[in-house]
Structure 1
Amino acid sequence: MKKWRNMDVSVEVNKIRLNQGRWEKMTVFTYNSPLEYESRVQSFLLENEAMHNLPLGIIQRMKTDMGRFEKEPVLGYLDHLGEIKTVLMRTPPHMWILASHIELSDQDINILVHFFKDNHHPVPGMIGASDNVTRFAEAWKKAVGVEYEVHMKQKVFQLDEVLTHQKSPGHLIKATEDHAALAREWMHAFGQEANVVHSEDELNEVVERLLNEQTLRLWVVDGEPVSMVNQSRNTPNGTTVSAVYTPDAHKRKGYATSAVAALSQELLGEGYQFCCLYTDLSNPTSNGIYQKIGYKPVGNSMVVNFI
């Protein structure tokens, strides 16, 4: 399997001429080196670290586990007079990440549309701040004649301190190889709930990695696992909680809340300054329970697929 190389160069790939017939000082830069890229975009992303946990986490992974990425990522940002307007990145075959804590202008969106078109970049979907993603989706639809669908509306939460709460019976344990079959079953069910389809090979690879990295946790009651939670990607100062799942037979008993609270406390105790997570806005229950244990909203995110 061919892997991409970490080249120690950066390249300006595009400068867009606008319809007014003049050169605008706006440029999309792309980088071949994650280290060089990080040095340019990290301070921008850290202005809202929890909201930008996805691109920050991916950059961290690139520095430590390049072999995870089978195809060369696109690592870019939109520059205006030396200032970053938005970070954009993609790790094929996944969707584009549009990371910015500022509202992009119509001109910014236009530049991005031209960048994708002129460089023949596939655009299967996009995730990022809701307003910016919505406006890009409309512009892309108009420019290339494709439709899009909103896959999920999300809220990003950040926790700095776990609040006192009513703990459910049970305790948190690290999942081991003995739990591999259960982990595969629950990760598959979690994907179905999130409307994300994984092949059997992908599922096996994910579970094997989580068990090897010892990030997967189970909430256990009387020796029986009843809920699941995972520590996902890290940012420079924080970490992400993900894959929160409880099978139907054990729902509405507070197990997921207790599992997330216990893992969050464990991670803060290890020295992380904060934990963050995504929630599905269509599920008001999960949005409420996380706030009870100390998670606070930091922004809205949206996932769109182009069809």
Structure 2
Amino acid sequence: MDSSPRPGYPSQSDHAEHAGHPAWQLTADLDEFHSRAAAFLHSAPALHTALLSVTDMLRTRGLHVYGKEDPLFGIRADGEGAVSGAFLWTPPHFPALSPLADAAAADELAGVLADAGLAPAGIGAESATAGAFSAAWQRRTNATPVVHYPQRLYRLGTLTPPLPSPAGGARVATGADRELLARWHGEFHEAIGEKAAMDAGEWADARIAYGGVTLWETPDGAPVAMAGNTRQVAGQVRIAPVYTPAHLRGRGYAGAVTTVVSRAALAAGADEVLLFTDVDNPTSNELYQRLGFSPVRDFTQYGFTR
């Protein structure tokens, strides 16, 4: 990949005068981003779970796995190279931004993006950081931030399997399940009202490649629910998505398959098993708390309108 900045992007040398003061640096080079931001992202794997998993997917499946446009990466570092913030952007999706220590860092990033002539359609981050960036973006561009998707991050404590467990059992999805996975992927995103980050077939292929979807089947072998999982990165695994077709809900399948995936992640050595829920969905929040998940932090996606 070409490591040079795109036209209009500040290069690392453009910030040399900021010795001692953190400054945002943009790059189109995934390898540079990974080498410089990895230690920072690994320092708080739960809070950086989205950036870790997306970076991993880009490195394993290619730069355009999320869309045709080239991704953009950002690092906030001081003159000694100490990193205090990071983001990645896979257009046309919203950039994902790490939690930032203060509103000034968010304002600085808004300025860098605006000065470079870049116009993200929104932002996704820990709620305080997302709010600070959205306010700064509004001041600079007159765009109006609108809450797009409020989420809550959960971390598994002591796994508490649901009792009684529904009849049937779990198995890891294979290539023979590709059509089903792609269809359920689409149905899941339609149900939550969110555009999928990846093409359904590409998503199915990527997950099948590393055993990243588990199906719950009835005793006669009919699949009735699925739970996906990211690959383990920095000791964390995130469960996503969990889906049961509407006509099969309320029978315990989601809890059962989530339990199986959680156990498998722990058995494979994961230090943290995570998942996001829709803050406004009491059913899913209650389910995961019964299974032993505890809230970590709220995250928010804002869309920008004019």
TM bracket, shorter-chain basis: 0.7 to 0.9
Q: Distance in 2 between matches of 1:258 and 1:154?
A: 22
Is residue 2:96 matched to residue 1:97? Answer: yes
Q: Distance in 2 between matches of 1:64 and 1:139?
A: 34
Contact 2:33 2:75 in 1 (8 A): no
Q: Which residue of 2 aligns with 1:114?
A: 111
Matched residue type, 1:12: Q
- Structure 1, residues 93-124: CA drift from partner, whole Å, max 9, x if none? 22111102x4423x323211210111112211
Matched residue type, 2:126: A
Q: Which residue of 2 aligns with 1:12?
A: 12
Q: Give, in angstroms, the shift of residue 236 of structure 1.
A: 1.8
Q: Which residue of 2 aligns with 1:189?
A: 187
Is residue 2:152 matched to residue 1:155? Answer: yes
Q: Distance in 2 between matches of 1:215 and 1:6?
A: 31
Q: Where does structure 2 lack aligned partners over 5 or more consecutive residues?
A: none
Contact 2:238 2:275 in 1 (8 A): yes
Within-5 A mapping of 1:72-151:
72-80=70-78, 82=80, 83-100=82-99, 102-105=100-103, 107-151=104-148
- Is the alpha carbon distance of 1:264 and 1:49 closer, same or farther for their aligned partners in structure 2, counting shifts above 3 Å? same
- Kindly, what percent of the aligned residue pairs are identical? 22
Contact 2:63 2:71 in 1 (8 A): no
Within-5 A mapping of 1:256-267:
256-267=254-265
Matched residue type, 1:58: V
Matched residue type, 1:90: W
Q: Give, in angstroms, the shift of residue 14 of structure 1.
A: 5.2
Within-5 A mapping of 1:32-71:
32-69=28-65, 70-71=68-69
Q: Secondary structure of the residue that 1:289 maps to in structure 2?
A: helix
Q: Give, in angstroms, the shift of residue 68 of structure 1.
A: 4.2
Q: Which residue of 2 aligns with 1:254?
A: 252
- Is the alpha carbon distance of 1:140 and 1:219 closer, same or farther for their aligned partners in structure 2, counting shifts above 3 Å? same
Q: Give, in angstroms, the shift of residue 161 of structure 1.
A: 4.4
Please report the RMSD computed on the Cα atoms of aligned residues, expressed in angstroms. 2.9
Q: Give, in angstroms, the shift of residue 63 of structure 1.
A: 3.3
Q: Secondary structure of the residue that 1:95 maps to in structure 2?
A: coil
Q: Give, in angstroms, the shift of residue 305 of structure 1.
A: 1.3
- Is the alpha carbon distance of 1:6 and 1:228 closer, same or farther for their aligned partners in structure 2, counting shifts above 3 Å? farther
The two structures have a TM-score, normalised by structure 2, of 0.86
Q: Secondary structure of the residue that 2:118 maps to in structure 1?
A: coil
Q: Give, in angstroms, the shift of residue 78 of structure 1.
A: 2.1
Q: Give, in angstroms, the shift of residue 66 of structure 1.
A: 2.7
Q: Give, in angstroms, the shift of residue 79 of structure 1.
A: 2.9
The total of aligned residue pairs comes to 296
Contact 1:103 1:131 in 2 (8 A): no
Q: Secondary structure of the residue that 1:54 maps to in structure 2?
A: helix
Matched residue type, 2:86: V
Is residue 2:241 matched to residue 1:243? Answer: yes
Matched residue type, 2:249: K
Q: Give, in angstroms, the shift of residue 141 of structure 1.
A: 1.6
- Is the alpha carbon distance of 1:210 and 1:59 closer, same or farther for their aligned partners in structure 2, counting shifts above 3 Å? closer
Q: Which residue of 1 aligns with 2:295?
A: 297
Q: Secondary structure of the residue that 1:123 maps to in structure 2?
A: coil
Matched residue type, 2:83: I
Q: Give, in angstroms, the shift of residue 6 of structure 1.
A: 5.7
- Is the alpha carbon distance of 1:284 and 1:243 closer, same or farther for their aligned partners in structure 2, counting shifts above 3 Å? same
- Structure 1, residues 219-246: CA drift from partner, whole Å, max 9, x if none? 1112221111111243221211101111
- Is the alpha carbon distance of 1:227 and 1:104 closer, same or farther for their aligned partners in structure 2, counting shifts above 3 Å? same
Contact 1:11 1:32 in 2 (8 A): no
Q: Of 159, 169, 172, which aligns to 2:170? A: 172
